[in-house]
Amino acid sequence: MVQPWRTGKVIRIVNETNSTRRFWIQVPELESFDFEPGQFVTLDLPIHEKPNKRWRSYSIASWPDGSNIFELLIVLLEGGAGTTWLFNEVREGHELTFRGPQGVFTLPDVIDRDLFFICTGTGIAPFRSMCHHLKRHKIPHQRLYLLFGCRKFGDTLYEQEMRELEKELPAFQYLPTYSREEPGNSHCTGYVHTIYEEICNNNRTPSIENVGDLAVKPAWFYLCGWKNMIDEAKQRIQSLGYDRKSIHQELYG
């Protein structure tokens, strides 16, 4: 079902990093803005005459809580007309036209295998929503890994919140990894791919079909971020022995 265009009111703005902002948007016409964790909204911004040149889609970073407020996590893109307008023009009290929720990048009905949430940058938004939803409703699940690829320590988003969630959500591991930091005992360095490959290889079990072989443990992989990361991840995950049906993706940019 195609959602109608609605008016949302920006009620709060917070800088998460130098180039990333959190926008809280209220939908006055609704008592409750209902969505599934992982879905997105599309904003219609006054940046072009043609409608399809004005639309920008963003994953919802908050989780369904029965209110009519949702949160977006937006990074300022160099030369990006949409994010430049949002950062320069939008203040608390500003009204935005949006449509949603939309999308099928959502959790399975029954979580009977491990989940790997793999992201870069603001791609953490839908996974934050999913993790809090699982905790809030005490939804049964297997092991849950959130692999967040960053360049430097200051690039992490929701860092403290994820550390707290790690203590509160059963079988949840938050694994940020830094591509431009020196190796150390308290953090992972490099790219996300080596992290999930190591976990998957360590979780292999003897194969029933082929004696002597080690089979991969059943898992779902959710990918959210830039195209290069997603393309490489899909290739590597299949090389581990998983099929394409195990992989779900949400592309940015």
Q: Which domains does the chain have, with CATH numbers?
A: 5-102 (2.40.30.10), 114-252 (3.40.50.80)
Yes or no: say if 53 and 47 are a contact pair by the CB < 8 Å rule. Answer: yes
Q: What CA–CA distance (Å, rounded) separates 82 from 88?
A: 10
- Minimal CA–CA distance to 131: which of 164, 178, 177? 164
Yes or no: say if 127 and 66 are a contact pair by the CB < 8 Å rule. Answer: no
Amino acid found at 201? N
Q: What CA–CA distance (Å, rounded) separates 188 from 182?
A: 9
> How large is the average pLDDT for residues 53-76?
97
Token pair listed for 175: 């694994």
**Predicted confidence band at 209 (pLDDT cuts at 50, 70, 90)?**
low
Res 151 pLDDT > 50: yes
**Predicted confidence band at 154 (pLDDT cuts at 50, 70, 90)?**
confident
Judge if pTM exceeds 0.85: yes
- Minimal CA–CA distance to 116: which of 226, 188, 224, 214? 224
User: Which spans in 121-216 are helix H?
Assistant: 125-136, 159-168, 192-202
Q: Which residues, other chains included, contact 53 with Cβ-Cβ below 8 Å and sequence gap of 6+?
A: 47
**Predicted confidence band at 203 (pLDDT cuts at 50, 70, 90)?**
confident
pLDDT at 51: 85
Cis upstream peptide for 101 (omega within 30°): yes
Q: What CA–CA distance (Å, rounded) separates 67 from 63?
A: 10
Res 187 pLDDT > 80: no
Which comes out higher in pLDDT, residue 157 or 188? 157
Token pair listed for 47: 């940046």
Res 208 pLDDT > 60: no
